[in-house]
Amino acid sequence: MKTYSAKKSEVSQQWYIIDATGLTLGRLSTRIAELLMGKHKPSYTPNIVSGDIVIVTNCAKIKVTGNKLEAKFYYRHSGYPGGIKETSLKDMLQKHPNRVIEHAVAGMLPKNKLQDEMLKHLKVYATDEHKHDAQKPEIIKLETN
């Protein structure tokens, strides 16, 4: 018996669309990361990008539990002394709601050269309008908890 290992030429990608209205950030991000890595497929191979392409709409309407809107911060540093900046989740959802999901999903993907390739397959939009109708994406309904 031999272990099957998919080749890059054998991988077929599907397009999926997820409406993030009312979904919890963490549970949504884990499902997206699973689709991007391809772990839902029987031909999953960890050393190639075998995942699918995911479109997330209405990311401005996600919900978080607890006190995360005020207590969760995103940090960045300019490289200069005293150059640390912080942005709360509440401000980030108002200014750049797509970055919240992109940041959460990026933290759940493997930290190697494939991470950038997988993140290219993630399309996040703040409203329900997107420009990928020609690809005929399959709609995935996730349950709100």
56 with 125: CB under 8 angstroms?
Answer: yes
Chain mean position to CA 88: 19
Q: Is the pLDDT of residue 145 over 80?
A: no
Q: Indicate yes or no: pTM above 0.75.
A: yes
13 with 136: CB under 8 angstroms?
Answer: no
What are the residue ranges spanned by the domains of the chain?
14-64+96-140
Share of the chain above pLDDT 90, in %: 92
Angle of the 97-106 helix axis to the 25-37 helix axis, nearest 10: 60
pLDDT tens readout for residues 21-78: 999 999 999 999 999 999 999 999 999 999 999 999 999 999 999 999 999 999 999 9
Q: What are phi and psi of 17, to 5 degrees?
A: -125, 135
Chain mean position to CA 106: 7
pLDDT value of position 47: 93
Class for the domain spanning 14-64+96-140: alpha beta
pLDDT tens readout for residues 83-102: 999 999 999 999 999 999 99
116: number of Cβ within 10 Å: 11
